[in-house]
Amino acid sequence: MMQLENYILGKWIKGDGDGQILYHAVTSEPIATATTKGIDFSTVLHHARLKGNPALRKMTFQERGLMLRSLALHLREHLSKFYQISYQTGATKADSWVDIEGGIGNLFAYASLRRKFSDQPYCLDGEYHSLGKSNSFIAQHLLIPKEGVAIHINAYNFPVWGMLEKIAVNLLAGMPAIVKPATVTSYLTEAVFREIIQSGILPEGALQLICGSASGILDHVDSQDVITFTGSALIGKMLKSHPKVLSENVPFTMESDSLNAIVLGEDVHPDMPEWDLFIKEVRKEMTSKCGQKCTAIRRIFVPENKIEDIQIALKKSLEDVLIGNPLNDKVRMGSLAGLAQRKEVKEQVQKLLASSQMIYGSMDSVSVIDADANIGAFMSPILLLNQQPMSSTAVHEVEAFGPVSTLMPYGSLQEAIALVKLGKGSLVSSIVTNNTSIATDYTIGAGTYHGRILVLNSACGKENTGHGSPLPLLVHGGPGRAGGGEEMGGIRGVKHYMQRVAIQGSPNMITAISKVYQPSASGNTDGKHPFKKYFEELEIGDQILTKKRIITKADIDAFADLSGDHFYAHLSDTEFQGTMFEKQVAHGYFIMSAAAGLFVDSYEKNPVLLNYGIEELRFTKPVYIGASIQVRFTCKEKIPQSKKDMSEIEKGIVKWLVEIIDNENEIVGIATILTMVAKLNQE
């Protein structure tokens, strides 16, 4: 029997002694042992801070994102190996797909997110603030990677996804991590981790793995570290209140199991497609991963006049679920992760049975395919019915972390909202309805108690990702019992691993620090039009001040006819009394178009490949006939692009600040335009 190894200090190390025995969920045969005995956690953290942190902090967002992409591509080459090991956790092919390829998908998602950041190790956060009348003193918020290490303490139900969804975020942010998977399924995490290290893609110290107990690791954290925890609320609260965590004010993100609910709208009837969507969603969330999901549906709320029909439909649907060896293609629900987990689930069901009745399933027997129900950690789906949910407490407090859900009636939408809130905070809730008023009232009424709400109807039925599927670019977490934290969430998640610092100074100084041009900073005018410069030649602050153009009545009339925009303010015969304008005014989009005619160098080919778009366009002052405009055109930011294939041109995106100035030296329009610019050296 193999002993799992820990990857620390740049090498694979076995712990002292035999350690905890890990079992095959289907056959209950011993697979491996795991232990961290003998490991000095202070040196593990020191290694991450000393080696991994400086290496990642030196890399730009673009480099870190491409690193994640390379890692995702590498892991995809070993899927068959991961799937074979995943079956030992009791997971079916569909369960494993979510865990393995879903986790790799997180790497791809955050790799793509690099395009939202600058080509620097740090980035600005939000817009600048002028702190003086002459704009000589401004402020910005800067996000800088923390100097510590992220400690990820994960749950047993998703040994791959749980690791990859977290490290994708901290690595993009520029922070190393120590991964501590739940020991019971850590053999799968270790297999994936070995391929991560084998790839050689990550810098030394960027990632370390602990297979076994992490007792004592929090004794060595400091204020620059970040801790994430996924698991039971009880253990999470214990860790969160660790003296060192409190004394050092270490950020602690907890995502704990919650009593997630689904609600059937009062408008839904058996002859509607939403009825079938509801039944399928409940069955899927009860049986997927054998109910071992922090987002699984634990409470089912149905209008009291439909409770009997739903009960019949759910029981019939659950009868179609084939349980057994996940290696068998016919099987749709595998086993729990182990016998210990099954024992715990049954104990929790017994607590629920004190106030509920079992209407489907069995605590003692289950029919399985291609396996022995007495040996493996198999369990029947169990559907409970609680007729008095407003007066029951256990159903809103006790979670059986397996294929167990409780059906309950509600009298009105407001009562349904009140019942959902009795769970004291959940990761996710769903409402199945085709009525926009019901959907709105439920979302606003229940939203404060949830991290995510799925509004499900036939319009999104085919494409919806499901009640229990957290997505990389959406926050995953919830208030109260759900932990009070959030993970992922796209850019929001990256910020959890960075320190936000307000910086104040002159526009020139803030430009120099941020590497993004700030309004009123000095420009670089070397006589060469910026559009004639290749990507590598451009410098932040490269600037031109164009010649002036006088706006005429003929310009305005011609643009109105060309565009079809005959808004009253652009017509000369309009009676302007009582309007915001004095007389015929130029179209804002004409002013922007005229500005482009002033700053675009269009007489010969140049490195600018195309116009990529406009951001933050504002018209700040009316432009009347006879006024003149000119443009201050400045290189604001540069973001390199990676080639999708070898035939593509080497290029980057350049952001330009466009300030349109009138004859009174006032800004009448401002925008950021994006161009795609070729690189000088084509590989």
Q: Cβ contacts of residue 521 below 8 Å, gap of 6+?
A: 506, 507, 508, 510, 511, 541
Percent over 70 (pLDDT), the chain? 99
pLDDT digits (tens, 9 = 90+) for 125-139: 988 899 888 889 999
Query: Do 482 and 429 touch, CB atoms closer than 8 A?
Result: no
For residues 363-382, average pLDDT: 92
Mean pLDDT along residues 600-612: 82
Tell me the sheet residues that pair with 385. 357, 407
pLDDT over 80 at 677, yes or no: yes
Q: State pLDDT tens for residues 17-62.
A: 888 999 999 999 999 999 999 999 999 999 999 999 999 999 999 9
For the residues 450-459, what does the mean pLDDT come to? Answer: 93
Above pLDDT 90, what percent of the chain?
Answer: 78
Residues of the chain with CATH 3.40.309.10: 261-475
372 pLDDT higher than 80: yes
Whole-Å CA distances, 324 to 104, 378, 379, 402? 27, 7, 10, 15
3 state SS for 310-333: HHHHHHHHHHCCCEECCCCCCCCE
State yes or no: is 195 an active-site residue: no
Of the candidates 123, 211, 290, 294, the residue annotated as catalytic is 294
Asked if the model's pLDDT at residue 508 lies above 80, the reply is: yes
Cα-flanking dihedrals φ and ψ of residue 474, to 5°? -110, 150
Mean pLDDT throughout 438-460? 94
Backbone angles phi, psi at 398, to 5 degrees: -100, 130
Return the minimum-mean-pLDDT range out of 59-68, 79-88, 174-183, 484-493. 484-493
- pLDDT value, residue 572: 83
Q: How far apart, in Å, are the Cα atoms of 239 and each of 151, 182, 219? A: 12, 15, 11
114 Cα distance to chain centroid: 13
CATH 3.10.129.10 intervals, the chain? 523-678
pLDDT score at 616: 86
Task: Please state the three-class secondary structure of 527-541 as a single string.
Answer: CCCHHHCCCCCCCCC
pLDDT confidence band for 560 (50 / 70 / 90)? very high
Please, which pLDDT band fits residue 16 given cuts at 50, 70 and 90? confident
Contact yes or no for 541/635 (Cβ under 8 A): yes
pLDDT reading at 601 higher than 80: no
Q: Give the per-residue pLDDT at 682.
A: 64
Q: What is the mean pLDDT of the chain?
A: 92
Of the two residues 200 and 650, the one the predictor is more confident about is 200
CATH topology of domain 2-119+148-250: Aldehyde Dehydrogenase; Chain A, domain 1 (3.40.605)
Find the mean pLDDT for residues 428-441.
95
Instruction: Place 683 in a pLDDT band, splitting at 50, 70 and 90.
Output: low
- Would you call 195 helix, strand, or coil by DSSP? helix
CATH numeric code, 261-475: 3.40.309.10
User: 180-198: per-residue pLDDT in tens?
Assistant: 999 999 999 999 999 999 9
Examine the pLDDT at 488 and tell me if it is beyond 80: yes
d(CA 237, CA 239): 5
Reference 483, options 260, 292, 673, 678; nearest CA is 260
| 250-275 per-position pLDDT tens digit | 999 998 888 999 999 999 999 999 99
Output the six-digit token pair for 610: 């195309």
Which stretch, 124-133, 228-237, 350-359, 597-606, has highest mean pLDDT? 350-359
Q: What is the tens place of the pLDDT at every residue in 289-317?
A: 999 999 999 999 999 999 999 999 999 99
Three-class SS of residue 177? strand
Instruction: Report d(CA 453, CA 443) in Å as an integer.
Output: 7
For the record, the structure tokens of 436 come out as 């926009």
3-class state of residue 419 by DSSP: helix
What is the pLDDT at residue 647?
74
State yes or no: pLDDT of 421 exceeds 90: yes
Just give the CATH number of 523-678.
Answer: 3.10.129.10
- The residues of the chain that CATH labels 3.40.605.10 are 2-119+148-250
CA distances in angstroms from 285 to 279, 429, 482, listed in the order given: 10, 12, 18
650 catalytic? Reply is: no
Q: What average pLDDT does the segment 210-237 reach? A: 91
- Which residue would you say has higher pLDDT here, 382 or 459? 382
Enclosing H/E stretch for 139: strand 138-145
Identify the residue whose tokens are 């003086």. Answer: 132
Contact 404, 362 (CB under 8 A): no
CA 62/CA 514 separation, integer angstroms: 16
pLDDT value of position 618: 93
Name 208's Cβ contacts closer than 8 Å, sequence gap at least 6: 6, 7, 8, 9, 44, 47, 48, 52, 176, 177, 178, 179
Mean pLDDT of 512-517: 92
- Residue carrying the six token digits 């817009």: 127
Task: Report residue 653 as tokens.
Answer: 């995106």
Q: What is the pTM of this model?
A: 0.89
Query: What CA–CA distances, in Å, run from 4 to 27, 47, 183, 193?
Result: 20, 21, 10, 12
Residue 465 exposure: Cα atoms within 13 Å on the Cβ side: 12
What is the number of H-type helices and E-type strands within the chain? 18, 29
Q: Which residue of the set 5, 165, 255, 274 is catalytic?
A: 255
